[in-house]
Copies of this chain bind each other. A is one copy, B any other.
Amino acid sequence: MPSGAAAMSATRAEELSRQFKAIADPNRLRLVSLISSSAENEACVCDLTEPLDLGQPTVSHHLKILVDAGILHREKRGVWAYYSIVPGSLDALAGVLTEPK
């Protein structure tokens, strides 16, 4: 975020904060990590409940927050819901922190 660029607008800051808030939770960070480090780059709720040691409703809640923030993608196949990372979403956030040009 080096100098040379103009300062961030208030509305832009609001948008970005929503996405950063979605990641700024230990359990959600682990969710993203678990999904991205999985074999097929996707995981269902049942695969994520145990490693986080959280109840199923809580995991679903965190996943919803990540989906609403545009970071995760939800695809229902049969009885299971598969979550995957939206391509480029994390890189876009990373860019904000480096972006200076």
The interface of chain A, by Cβ under 8 A from chain B, is: 1-8, 10, 13-14, 16-17, 20-21, 23-27, 29-30, 32-34, 36-39, 41, 51, 85, 90-91, 93-95, 97-98, 100
Contact = CB atoms under 8 A, between A and B. Distances in A.
A9 B25 CA distance: 13
A20 B10 contact: no
Nearest to A53: B10
Given A20-B20, A33-B7, A85-B1, A27 B39 contact: no
Contact of A20 (B4, B23, B37): B23
* Chain A, interface SS category: helix
Contacts of A5: 37
A67 B13 CA distance: 19
A26 B17 contact: yes
B24 A23 contact: yes
Contact of A100 (B21, B36, B39): B36
